A and B are shown apart, each in its own frame.
Chain A
Amino acid sequence: MVEQENKATLPVAGVEKSSPYEALMKDIVSIEEVLLPQLNELAEKIDSSFNDVSQSIRFCAEQLLSTNMFSEKNRTRIAIGATVTSVLVDSIGAGFSAYKHNKYLDTILVEKRKIANAKISVIEKVIPLTKKAFENASQIVLQKVDKEYSSDLLQNQDTLKLILSNAEKEMNILRTSCFYMLMVQYLHAEYNAWMSGLQVSDVDRPSLYTANTQIFLKIICADHFRGDMEIFLSNKSDSLKGREVYVLADKQLTNTYLIYMGNTRKFIDPTEDCDYFPPELPVNFENQNAALSVIENSSMISINDADTKRISDFCELGDGTTMSHIVFGLLCVGVVVLLVVLDWALWLSIILGVIAEGVLISQWVKKVEEQKNAFYRKLLNIQHDIYARLMKDAGYVKYDKSVYQKKNVFDEAVDGLFKNL
C-alpha cells in the first residue's frame, strides 16, 4: 500500500486543472458573449412574432369561412387573400430578421475597427516576444527528445516520478507558449481583417489542440513514430527516449498521439467526420523491463485498451446476420424436402419451389443488408464518440464563425415565402 502511494503515477487524460485557453478566451469573447445571444435571440423573436401574426391571419380567415355569411365566390377570395397575406407576413419577417442581423454586425464592426486601430501596433510588438518564448521552450524540449532515460533511472520510483513530472512541466510550458504565440498571430490576422472591413479573418481560431498537434509533428517528431515503430514499442533496449517520456507523461500529448495513430498516422481537419479506430499499438510486453513497465502502466495503454474493448465488445455482439443465415438455410431445406415428398406433382412443386426461393432470396438479401447497415451505423457512432472524447482531452474547442456571416435579405425573404406553403 505504502509502496503504491510512493509509486510514480502517470496522469489520467481528461482531468485538466485549469486551461489557459478557457482563461484567455473568457475575455476574448466578450463581444461574442453579448453579440451571439443577441443575434440568436433576435432571429428567434422576430421569426416567432411574424409567424404568430401569420397564424392569426389564417385563424381569422378560418373563422370567417366557418360561417355561411359569404357566397362561394367570396369564400374563395377570402381563402386566397388570407394565404397570400400570411405568406407575405412570413417573408417580411424573415427579411426583417436578416436586415437586423446585418445591422448589428455593421454596428459591431465599427467598434471592432476602433479596437483594431488601437491594438494592432501593440500586437506587432508582442508577436516577436511570444515567438521567442516559444523558441526558448522548444530548445528545452528539443534538447531532451533524443536523450535516453536508462533503466536505472526508470526502475527507481523517486527518479521516475521526477522524470515524469519534469516532462509534464516542460510540455506544459511549451504548449502554453505555443498557444499564446498562435493566439497572438490569430488576433493580428483578425485585426487586419476588421480594418479591411471584414467580420472575421480566414485564419482558424487556435485551440490547445492546435498547439499539441504542432508540437507533436514538429518537436516530438511524428516521423519517429512511423515505420516499424521500433523506437517506441518493441523496446529492445531497456531505456526510454525523451520523446517517448513526453508522450507518456503529458495527458494532452497522450491523446494527441492516440488520435494520430488511430487516424492512420495523420491529423485530419477537426471539423471533418473521422472513422477513428483505436490503434493497435505495437507494444511487445513479452520481455518485461523497466521501460515496458512504464509504458504498460501509462494512461496511453489504459485509454486505448478501454476504447478497443468497447469496439470489440460491440463487434462481438455481431450484426445479427448469422441468425438470418440459419433461418434461410432451414427454409431452403424445407423446400427441398417438399420437392421430394410431393413427387406426384414434381413439376408443379419445382415451379412453386423456384418462385418461393426467388421471393425468399430477395427478402433475405434485403433484410441482411438492413441489419448490416444498422450495425455499421451504430459502430460509426461509437467511433465518433471515442474520437470526440479524445479530441476534447487533447484540447480541442469547436468555434463557429458562421454567425459573423452577413445574411442576404432578399434570399431570406424568399425562403420565408416558401416556409409555410
Chain B
Amino acid sequence: MENPETRPPEESKENPAETAAVNYMRQWKEKVHAGFDHIMGYPDRVINRALDRIPDTTADKIHQKMDKIPTAAPALLSSGLGSAIFYEASRGSLSGTATSSAVTAGILTSFFYARSYFRERQINKDKDKGLNNE
C-alpha cells in the first residue's frame, strides 16, 4: 500500500499555486481522516500507517496478529456519517439550502479576513517601492 506521508509532493513547475492547492487538499484529507480515526479509536489504522515505514518481515508478523482485531469498516463509516452531517444540517429546509448557506457563510467570513491580509500586503509592497525610489 502506498504511504501518502512518504509520497513526494506533486510537481508543477509552471504553476506553483496549483501545486500548493493540490498539496493542501491531500494534507487536509490525511489530517481529517486521521482525526476521525483518533476520535473513533481505530488504532489498527493508525498502526497500519506506522507499519508502512518498518521492514516487511517485522510488519508481516504484526499484521498476522492484527488480523485478529475486528474492524468496523471505518472508511464506510466516515463517509456515511459525513454525508449524514450535510443531510441533517438541511433537515428543516428545502434542497440543502441550510447546508449551502452554512458553507457559503464560512467562505465569506474567510474572505473578509483574507481581504485585510492582501490589502496590508499591498500597502507594504507600495511602501517598499517608495523607499526604493527614494
Is chain B a partner of chain A in the same complex? no
Chain B residues within CB distance 8 Å of chain A:
none
